[in-house]
Structure 1
Amino acid sequence: MMGISSVPSMILSAKKIWKLHSLLAKNNSNVPKGYFAVYVGEIQKKRFVVPVSYLKHPSFQDLLRYAEEEFGFHHPTGGLTIPCKEDVFINLTAKLHLQR
């Protein structure tokens, strides 16, 4: 059972996810409904399209927190940028896909 003290944390997380969702909705042309585009890479960025359902997975949320610390919510590519190695991102999304 969650305590009252975890409610503010949940509200803050929900606000961040909503802000992220708004950013994604504005910047995703040619992306199917239920998906969003991200740019992944440390130097050269590659575009990936992933299901919105990944947003609720703790490991993907950790990656998003890291991206927020690195870039904030203003992304130079016009979309969400995740500053990690491409193979790390592919491994993570492959695991999330198997959990669906």
Structure 2
Amino acid sequence: MAMGIIKIANAKQKLRRSLTPKKNGFLGAMDSPKKGYFAVYVGETHKKYFIPISTLDHPLFRELLHWAEEEFGFDNSEGGLKIPCTEDYFEGLISLISSV
């Protein structure tokens, strides 16, 4: 259980780093999530989605983060959180989480 908490803390830390300004300037307005949201990249084309930070607390999303860690790890130097599933699967999961 403690390892799960550490992994979630690492994911939150990674998200904070990905939402901070780039070294060479700020992200453009079109690329930046609204306050309270963060970006994830989904599918083979790495389509960008902005989802509420509150989603991090949901058990289904935590499982998805675990899956992402196994696939990519959390020390991704390319930036951004990549989710290893199809866009349809992700959209369905987010819809399910949002409806609760």
Taking structure 2 as the reference length, what is the TM-score of the superposition?
0.76
The match for 1:34 among 29, 33, 36 is: 36
Matched residue, 1:61: 62
Aligned pairs for 1:1-100 within 5 A: 6=1, 8-9=2-3, 11-26=5-20, 29-41=31-43, 43-73=44-74, 74=76, 76=78, 78-99=79-100
How many residue pairs end up in the alignment?
91
Deviation of 1:9 after TM superposition, in Å, equals 4.2
Determine if contact 2:40/2:82 at 8 Å carries over to the other structure.
yes
Superposed structure 1 runs of 4+ greater than 4 Å apart: none
TM-score, length basis structure 1: 0.76
Q: Structure 2: where are the runs of 5+ without partners?
A: 22-26
Query: Percent same amino acid at aligned positions?
Result: 40
Whole-Å Cα distance in 2 between the matches of residues 49 and 87 of structure 1?
15
Deviation readout 1:20-66 (Å, 9 max, x if unpaired): 3323323775210100011000x221110000000000100100111
- Between structure 1 and structure 2, the one with the greater Rg is 1
Aligned CA RMSD, in angstroms, stands at 2.1
- The answer for unaligned runs of 5 or more in structure 1 is 1-5
